[in-house]
Amino acid sequence: MLIRLIAAALVLAVAAPAVAAEKQHISREADLPRFSYAVTGKLEEMVRNPALFAPFAASVRRDVEAVLNDYEIDDKATHRQLLGELATLDLIEGRYDDALSLSNEIRALQEKPADKLLSGQQIRAIVAAVKGGAPVNSPAYFAAVGKGVAAELSAMPYTVIENDIKGAKERNELIGETLILGQVRDVMQPTVDKTGTLSSDLAPSLISARWALTLALPLKQTLIETYGAYIAAHKVEKPDIWTARAATLPPDAPAKPVTIGIWDSGIDTKLFPGRVVMESGMPALIAFDRYARPSTGELAPIPEQMKGHLTAMTARLKGFSDLESDIDSPEAGEVKHFLSTLPQDQYKGAIEELNLAGDYVHGTHVAGIAVAGNPFARLLVGRIEFGYTLLPDPCPSQELVERDAHDMQSFVDFMKSHGARVVNMSWGGSVLDVEHDLEVCGVGKSPDDRRMIARDYFETTKRGLAGAIASAPGILFVAAAGNSNRDASFTETIPAAIDLPNLLVVGAVDGAGDEAPFTSYGPTVKVHADGYQVDSVVPGGTHLALSGTSMAAPEVTNLAAKLIALKPSLKPTEVTELILKTSDRTEDGRRTLINPAKAIAALR
């Protein structure tokens, strides 16, 4: 049921004027109202059958419209998301004028330059094709949509939209029926089987699945060809701003060793000989598993049944990377074929393997970025395990969050005791992540009950993390802003939304300094660094280019460590001040680009 404030005015005086209800102000994503929908039967049948889907869609539409009418939402991204749900429903239902009108509202709310240009492009092309007389999903329709998209693209500056178009082409190359319905079958259906309901957190995924199945998938080849032709016609190399800004410390520099803590999924320390903090002849290490219990080993453990797949899993990560850069490699071809033709019964295993592979390489890749060009860097391993399964394992519990909060202090105490001066944290989570896991696990009697439980669990974790960071004022903690293209403070993503003097939050740009499509932002995000297709080493010694604020954060960690190596007396606040003072603010005011060469020169 909709949980929202119902304002009413009791008019006591005769002929008194009516007073309009004042909208309730929303400053945090988790304070939005919750909805719950009773669902029976198979969700896949609902997605495929318009008669079964219609009542569900009508309920969602009613509640989304109520939120937009009754609440004043600070966050433009959330406003766009809600309008987007309505626009998607309009397209599904053939309400083309309404969809077009909403797409214009969404476009007016866009903040990033590329988003302002591309927002609503497919909707405009679809509506124009249908209004031109082409039946949906007919050859004439495909041709008209392709022509409409191409016409808009031809008038846009390639350097502004390049990354977005390559990403759009990649998504279309990978899409297939199994990917569209995988979450419906393997995450949402088990949830409904437990509770008999679906929340407003999961409902948009069901709407997206119907949209993708009925409208997006049929356009797959049309859009691949259209985007591909546009990219091929604009083989322009964007300028690289980072080479000129780079700063490498020579081995004979007047510097001291500096310890960098990598609080991540682990490091293949064999790849960094002589550059790892040692203890009793072994790499110094603190590790906890995903159950928040003490663990061993420098790298995330690979389940026995997956060990034989690790090489193929890593190759597929390269395939994703190549697709993102529009590189036609054997790995890119394999991953396109693999995912777009994936049998239904292999979805769960395939996605979990890819998730695990990403976790496995993550910490080592981050470490490689953090120590590049700094012979004085010494790595300290703090290993955590990220969940990789489609269904949460473990499910959230009071015991788990209390152990997790305790472990955070243990990590920081370990870093302090081993002399860490900079600690990189390329990870994060929000209160709605907890709420999502509670629902999928079948915990909580109602959406309101889950909201309260999630808030309690989240605050325990947040206090533990913030308290741990604050307890080490001599360490500079560097955190990734997140990859949701949202305001990290509004979504309450931690550690990115935590405001402490020894915490520096980093957003991502590309090689030219343009804002990455995925990067989160907000008042706590102080600097930006290259986080797009950043090359680094992965376990085993091969190299891989990966994108994310996870890659941007260690660029800043790298700079901070070089500054401290050259001047060990610097305090975290002084390091931050120096990085900010020597960074370059972009004209639009959205990015503050680090300048390592200028920062190091400022020490002299």
CA atoms of 408 and 469, how far apart (whole Å) = 9
Task: pLDDT band for 1, please (50, 70, 90 cuts).
Answer: very low
- Is 14 within the bounds of a domain? no
What per-residue confidence (pLDDT) applies to 428?
Answer: 97
Max intra-chain CA distance, the chain: 88
Q: Which one, of 20, 91, 31, lies nearest residue 67 by Cα?
A: 31
Q: Are residues 227 and 303 in the same domain?
A: no
Residue 305 near residue 420, CB atoms below 8 Å: no
Q: Are residues 387 and 351 in the same domain?
A: yes
Q: Are residues 227 and 283 in the same domain?
A: no
DSSP letter at 482?
A: -
User: Any idea what the CATH number is for the domain that residue 256 is in?
Assistant: 3.40.50.200
CA atoms of 262 and 299, how far apart (whole Å) = 12
Q: What is the mean pLDDT of residues 298-318?
A: 88
- In 74-138, which residue ranges form alpha helices assigned H by DSSP? 76-92, 96-108, 113-118, 121-131
Query: In this structure, what are the phi and psi dihedrals at residue 420, rounded to the nearest 5 degrees?
Result: -65, 140
Task: pLDDT band for 6, please (50, 70, 90 cuts).
Answer: very low
Query: In this structure, what are the phi and psi dihedrals at residue 490, rounded to the nearest 5 degrees?
Result: -65, -40
Question: What share of residues in the chain are helix, strand, coil (percent, to 5)?
Answer: 55, 15, 35
Give me the residue label for tokens 């997605």.
47
For the chain, state the CA radius of gyration: 25
Q: What is the mean pLDDT of residues 398-424?
A: 98
- Is 16 within the bounds of a domain? no
pLDDT in tens, 324-359: 888 889 999 999 999 999 999 999 999 999 999 999
Query: In this structure, what are the phi and psi dihedrals at residue 185, rounded to the nearest 5 degrees?
Result: -75, -45
CA atoms of 166 and 169, how far apart (whole Å) = 5
pLDDT in tens, 216-232: 999 999 999 999 999 99
Q: Are residues 187 and 303 in the same domain?
A: no
> Of all residues in the chain, what percent carry a pLDDT higher than 90?
89
Position 20 pLDDT exceeds 70: no
Residue 203 near residue 35, CB atoms below 8 Å: yes
Q: What is the mean pLDDT of residues 164-187?
A: 95
Q: What is the mean pLDDT of residues 528-552?
A: 96
What per-residue confidence (pLDDT) applies to 506?
Answer: 98
Residue 432 near residue 482, CB atoms below 8 Å: no
DSSP string, 492-516: T-BTTT---TTEEEEEEE-TTSPBP
Position 9 pLDDT exceeds 50: no
Three-state secondary structure call for residue 382: strand
Last residue of a domain, one of 172, 201, 232: 232
Burial of residue 74 (CB within 10 Å: 0-12, 13-18, 19+) is middle
Return the structure tokens found at 223: 């859009």
Question: What range defines the domain where residue 198 resides?
Answer: 24-232
Q: Which one, of 253, 212, 183, lies nearest residue 43 by Cα?
A: 183
First to last CA, the chain: 63
Q: Which one, of 546, 512, 423, lies nearest residue 474 by Cα?
A: 423
Position 8 pLDDT exceeds 80: no
Q: CA 395 → CA 114, 182, 265, 387, distances in Å?
A: 38, 21, 20, 10
The DSSP H or E segment spanning 423 is strand 420-425
Among 19-28, 100-109, 355-364, the range scoring the smallest mean pLDDT is: 19-28
Residue 300 near residue 359, CB atoms below 8 Å: yes
- Is 237 within the bounds of a domain? no
- In 379-430, which residue ranges form alpha helices assigned H by DSSP? 398-417
Give me the residue label for tokens 């497919």.
122
CA atoms of 446 and 199, how far apart (whole Å) = 9
What per-residue confidence (pLDDT) applies to 21?
Answer: 61
Positions of E strands within 112-183: none
Position 589 pLDDT exceeds 70: yes
Residue 161 near residue 110, CB atoms below 8 Å: no
Domain count, the chain: 2
User: Given its phi and psi angles, is residue 138 left (phi above 0), alpha (psi -120 to 50 degrees) or beta?
Assistant: beta
Q: Which amino acid is at 153?
A: L
Position 3 pLDDT exceeds 80: no
Q: Which one, of 472, 479, 470, 460, lies nearest residue 413 by Cα?
A: 472
- Is 432 within the bounds of a domain? yes
Burial 579-588 (b: 16+ CB within 10 A, else e): beebbeeeee
Position 7 pLDDT exceeds 50: no
Q: CA 455 → CA 3, 104, 115, 298, 452, distances in Å?
A: 16, 35, 32, 33, 5
Q: Are residues 158 and 248 in the same domain?
A: no
Give me the residue label for tokens 């690289």.
240
Q: Which one, of 30, 73, 398, lies nearest residue 201 by Cα?
A: 30
- Is 417 within the bounds of a domain? yes
Q: Are residues 572 and 459 in the same domain?
A: yes
- Is 168 within the bounds of a domain? yes
Q: CA 515 → CA 511, 552, 591, distances in Å?
A: 10, 12, 7
Q: Are strands 592-593 and 584-585 parallel, antiparallel or unpaired?
A: antiparallel
pLDDT in tens, 432-449: 999 999 999 999 989 999
pTM: 0.93
Position 13 pLDDT exceeds 80: no
- Is 17 within the bounds of a domain? no
Q: What is the mean pLDDT of residues 293-302?
A: 93
pLDDT in tens, 489-514: 999 999 999 999 999 999 999 999 99
pLDDT in tens, 86-143: 999 999 999 999 999 999 999 999 999 999 999 999 999 999 999 999 999 999 999 9
Q: Are residues 247 and 217 in the same domain?
A: no
Q: Are residues 286 and 221 in the same domain?
A: no
Q: Are residues 188 and 273 in the same domain?
A: no
Q: Are residues 520 and 482 in the same domain?
A: yes
Q: Which one, of 42, 320, 315, lies nearest residue 167 by Cα?
A: 320
Cβ-based neighbours of 31, under 8 Å, separated by 6 or more: none
Q: Are residues 497 and 543 in the same domain?
A: yes
Would you call the peptide bond into 394 cis, given omega within 30 degrees of 0 as the criterion?
Answer: yes
Q: Are residues 201 and 254 in the same domain?
A: no
What per-residue confidence (pLDDT) applies to 235?
Answer: 81
Task: pLDDT band for 234, please (50, 70, 90 cuts).
Answer: very high
- Is 351 within the bounds of a domain? yes
Last residue of a domain, one of 185, 200, 232: 232
pLDDT in tens, 66-93: 999 999 998 999 999 999 999 999 999 9
What per-residue confidence (pLDDT) applies to 304?
Answer: 87
Query: 3-state secondary structure string, 269-309?
Result: HHHCCCCECEECCEECEEEECCCCCECCCCECCCCHHHHHH
The DSSP H or E segment spanning 543 is strand 543-546
Last residue of a domain, one of 184, 202, 232: 232
